[in-house]
Amino acid sequence: MNCVKVALNLPLDKLFYYKVPEELTGQVKIGKRILVPFQKKKLIGFVVEEVKENHKNLREIIKIIDDFPPIGNDLLLLGRWIAEYYCCSIGQALHSVLPIQYPFKADKDKLNRKKSSFSLPVSHKCRGEIDALLKEGKVILLRVENWEKRIDLYLQLIKGVLEKNRQVILIVPEVSYIPPLQKALQNFYKGEVSVFHSKLSPRQRYNQWWRMKRGEVDLAIGTRSVVFSPFPKVGLIIIEEEENLAYKQIEVPRYHVREVAIKRAEIEQFPIVLFTQSPSLESWERGKEGVYKSISFSKDVKNFPQVEVVDLRKERDRIFSSPLTKTIRQELEKNRPVLLFLSRRGYANFLLCRECGEVIRCPNCNIGLTFHLRDDLICHYCGYRQKAPQVCPLCRGKELHRVGVGTEQVEAEAKKRFSGIGIRRVDLDAINSPLAYKQLLNNFKKGKSDLLIGTQLLIKEEILQRVSLVGIILIDTLLNLPDFRASEHVFQLLMKIKKLMRGDGKIIIQTYNPEHFALSALKKGKEEAYYEEEMKIREELGYPPYLHWVRILLEGRNKDKVEEAARRTEEKLKGEKISFLGPSPCPFSRIKGKYRYHLVLRDESLVRIREVLKKRLISLFVHFSNVKVAIDVDPLRTM
């Protein structure tokens, strides 16, 4: 071997040749990281191929980083697939597969392995069902609402796999899911567990990766990157809440954990189980078409809470309608806690000038500033803040009016209407640490909070199981987001609330659009009807999953350069066989001082879109000056 092909963490769709110096002969192996010269810098890359033929004028490898390949052939193959599918370089993909900075050195310590065990009684019938599921070979979609039932199924699945001396990867959408899951599992599972997520220090991540690589543990729990756990022999991947938006990576490579996990399961030949309460539209469609094996553990519709939709067009008060106010009073008189949900924190969404109609906007992001009682005006995208002006900065008008509903405004109104009770606001401004949330939960369990007001932080089973009423203040703010998935995300949110609440509870939804089909399906308990209607709309408009979408996002501080880059991209696409939308300013057209334009490429074949990207666009993007280009395959958000 005279030289090797190296994948560098660069946005360049190519591999680089490097000469192996004589003193390193025999030490350079596929999968190892090496330090190489690149232009005037030194970069770390992965060896992906050995080349025996001679190449002249090659630069030499500086040094080898690892004593052994930290990722094996299967993960290397997975990295190549990620690069191909998500339109990034192999180097970018492999640096995501191995999210570790430290070098891997030869280990001289004795393997510290403890045998895993269960104190779990399993009926023959249940065990037979679980074994049958694992032998299916397909992706298994389990629709389960009840937390205890989900834990029971986790344990059954994990036990069956560990008994075959294989390992299990359990993926959750957020770090906050891990502690309650660990606690529930520890009651039955007596073995080592590796916890892996972005909140760990680099050294902690290295240690956990090393334990998995050595086979010291049989079970790993973590967020997105745990999908790349280097276990010797994976037997199962479980994904909790597969529909959660957090599973889509927002940096390069912009992969979706579900798709990566399915591909890994295909490469290494093991089953994968997706848990859900209300599946993503893609998973629902795959289950219907037989691509997934879909199994429901849903409870009877009679056990769901009652749903009431209030038409705000007939109400005087847009925050506390008559039905909501009346029901809150009834529940409080019975000493039953109430939860009020809204999509935004703060006191009011915007500050509006009634004379010129302009909203007070962030100078960096061009987005309406959120009005806070304590902190005045704040931009929740870049953090900019200012005092609320006395006059309009554009027309000097004095008629400034608060528009929209925020948590602080609802809290203030609630204190006026419902005196003598414990009212607690729960949003990222009030609860800014795991300890603060834990304290909130403990106080709530002790009955110190009668009325909780907050955002997505409150949509947890441990809270919803304890309240008798959930009031949705204004669902329109979510339904009307400029995103084609807005309806799906709202429906999943409302179904999650409905399924996690007690059967004797009640949900009151306030809206200016009570006829919306998502709300009608929720109220009638017709979940399948919602999916079918949404699929019809997607088909008519050419939205996923009927067509593949690839979003091209262009960002830069110079508006003219961003517009020019968007125009040149459009020119390159004209005459191609695929269709596209745009270019146009993004709904959030300026964030953190950067102007944003986007185009959406769409076609029945993702292969055709990738061919156009490689043939017409990638070479163009390299020459854009001071304009950052992002390619997002299967985007979950388009704002």
Detail the residues annotated as belonging to a binding site for Zn(2+): 353, 356, 362, 365, 379, 382, 392, 395
**Contact between residue 491 and residue 368 where contact means Cβ atoms under 8 Å apart:** no
* Amino acid letter, residue 611: E
Q: Which residues are annotated as a binding site?
A: 353, 356, 362, 365, 379, 382, 392, 395
Strand partners, 232: none
Main-chain phi, psi angles of 171, to 5 degrees? -105, 130
Structure tokens at 18: 């490097």
H/E stretch holding 47 reads: strand 41-51
Rounded CA separation 444/424 (Å): 9
What burial class does residue 557 get, using C-beta atoms within 10 Å of its C-beta: 0-12 exposed, 13-18 middle, 19+ buried? middle
Rounded CA separation 591/602 (Å): 26
CA distances from 25 to 1, 31, 127, 307 (A): 8, 16, 53, 71
Main-chain phi, psi angles of 253, to 5 degrees? -80, 135
**Contact between residue 155 and residue 207 where contact means Cβ atoms under 8 Å apart:** no
* Amino acid letter, residue 304: F
Rounded CA separation 68/33 (Å): 9
Pairing of strands 469-472, 506-511: parallel
Quick one: how far is CA 15 from the chain centroid? Answer: 30
In residues, how long is the chain? Answer: 639
Strand partners, 351: 402
Residues 6+ apart with CB under 8 A from 504: 305, 468
> Which single residue is written with the structure tokens 């306030």?
510
| DSSP per-residue codes, 431-465 | --SHHHHHHHHHHHHTT--SEEEESGGG--HHHHT
> Which single residue is written with the structure tokens 């009005």?
371
Helix axes 281-289, 527-541, angle to 10 degrees: 100
HEC readout, 453-512: EECHHHCCHHHHCCCCEEEECCCHHHHCCCCCCHHHHHHHHHHHHHHHCCCCCEEEEEEC
Structure tokens at 317: 């008060």
How many other C-beta atoms can be found within 10 angstroms of the C-beta atom of residue 259? Answer: 18
240 DSSP 8-state letter: S
Residue 197: name the closest of 257, 152, 267, 242 by CA: 257
